Amino acid sequence: MKIIRSISLTLFVFGLVGFIYIAGNAWFHMETLSRQLTHFLPYPREDTAGIISFFVSMTSFFIWNLTKKEKN
């Protein structure tokens, strides 16, 4: 259970940072959202990467909270 908790916390942090980066980029450079994320592959685009990052962050945070030990 400890490894699941560690992995979910790591995915939460990196997913949140990725989402914040894409959201900040969209705030200042909205025209770049339809561009590809990297020049190596045509997919994913920046907007798709932001959505994926948000859902990874949200799901990982949910799992992290589910695996928390109750103090009685």
Nearest CA among 54, 25, 20 for reference residue 37: 25
How confident is the model at residue 35, as a pLDDT? 86
pLDDT tens for each residue of 43-63:
889 899 999 999 999 999 999
Neighbours of 53 (CB within 10 A): 21
Would 72 be classed as within a structural domain?
no
Tokens of 71: 């103090």
Would 62 be classed as within a structural domain?
yes
What is the extent of the structural domain holding 24? 2-34+43-66
Which amino acid, 37? L
Residue 38: exposure state from Cβ atoms within 10 A (0-12, 13-18, ≥19):
exposed
Would 23 be classed as within a structural domain?
yes
Tokens 């009685």 belong to 72
pLDDT tens for each residue of 14-47:
999 999 999 999 999 888 888 888 888 888 898 9
Number of domains in the chain: 1
Would 71 be classed as within a structural domain?
no
Strands (E), 1-72: none
Would 24 be classed as within a structural domain?
yes
Would 55 be classed as within a structural domain?
yes
